[in-house]
Amino acid sequence: MPNRATGYCTDDVARALVVAVAASDHQCCRERALELGSRYLAFLLDAQLPDGRFHNFMSYARGWLDECGTEDSIGRAVWALGYTQRFAPLAGWSLVARRLLSAALPNVTRLSFIRSRAYAALGLTQARAALGGADSPQIDAALRAIGDDLLARHAAHAAADWDWFEDEMTYDNARLPEALLRIGTVLDNRAFVALGLRTLAFYESVVMEDGMFVPVGNAGWYRRGGTRARFDQQPLEAASLVDAALAAEAATGDSRYRALADAGFQWFFGRNSGNAALVHGGGCCDGLEPSGPNRNMGAESTLAYLGAALALAPADAVALRIARKVATRSFSAELGPNV
């Protein structure tokens, strides 16, 4: 049951656009994905401000509730637009995405938060790949700036027992090494790839326990020198691990990373510290608490699950079957926290 009082947000619509574009590559999902992808891209078109940034929050009555969105929402919008520019099922979508991303590009290096920059980098690497061998000096400059910033942050915080970019692990942690891996791959920068692999290995040492993924919980996070929180575990952590591991596999050709991606994906189905499945009836619970799953199923959680399934689908028949099973159900839900 959608909770319409919460309205809509660019954060979730951007995630949904990535999922719709990915799903359009599968015949079983294509018709519905085309319908919804067009809606999501139109939302981002309306959300963009004259200076290239984006609104985030929209009421159910379709009025914008903010003057400008959060940095994370801007980064996610750029991510979705870059992905669409490269993988859009229709040429018109790619053209619109390229125009919106071009307008947003000057704002990318003005983002101050590390995750916001990483999200934007994930889109810019796809946009650069979409151009093939064509020159992309503005995109390259933005990617180098983000990569250099990640290196500098790591140098400022890392130590022998703490190989990370900040003094605390909070949310969407694996997106940071993933961004370095993808930037390093498209720019052919070995230093970026090397640090991406190194920090992913450190993250793996924190969250993997006997082959099981136990993400950092949001009830306290994991501060350097402290005890990491084990709950509440969030679906976006599993999805980001899947993507980071696949980026590492693509950068190195090492099949070991496929097993790491699978461990992240199996978290959704009960291979977790609560032995509880998070996926039910095509939706995904909002997290794993000490007492079990949070039965609320918001857009972020369901889209994290669908995104992970589709990321694995090209090479994993099981994930493809799961994506087919849930796509027609989950895509029909309105975007927003559900009750």
pLDDT at position 337 is 40
Query: Would residue 129 count as lying in a domain?
Result: yes
Closest C-alpha among 260, 150, 231 to residue 196: 150
Q: In this model, does residue 332 exceed pLDDT 90?
A: no
In a domain, 84, yes or no: yes
The pLDDT assigned to 325 comes to: 56
CATH number of the domain within which 269 lies: 1.50.10.10
Q: Is the pLDDT of residue 106 over 90?
A: yes
In this structure, what are the phi and psi dihedrals at residue 131, rounded to the nearest 5 degrees?
-85, -5
Of the pLDDT bands very low, low, confident and very high (cuts 50, 70, 90), residue 3 is confident
Identify whether 183 is part of a domain. Answer: yes
DSSP 8-state class, residue 25: T
Quote the percentage of the chain above a pLDDT of 70: 92
Helix axes 114-130, 71-87, angle to 10 degrees: 20
Q: Is the pLDDT of residue 309 over 90?
A: yes
Q: Which domain holds residue 32?
A: 4-330
Closest by CA position to 121, among listed 59, 184, 64: 184
Q: Residue with structure tokens 């070991």?
A: 256
In a domain, 252, yes or no: yes
Examine residue 336 and state whether it is found in any structural domain, yes or no: no
Q: Is 60 within a domain?
A: yes
pTM: 0.93
Give domain status of residue 335, yes or no: no
Diameter of the chain measured on Cα atoms: 53
**What is d(CA 181, CA 245) in angstroms, rounded to the nearest whole number?**
10
Average pLDDT over residues 47-55: 98
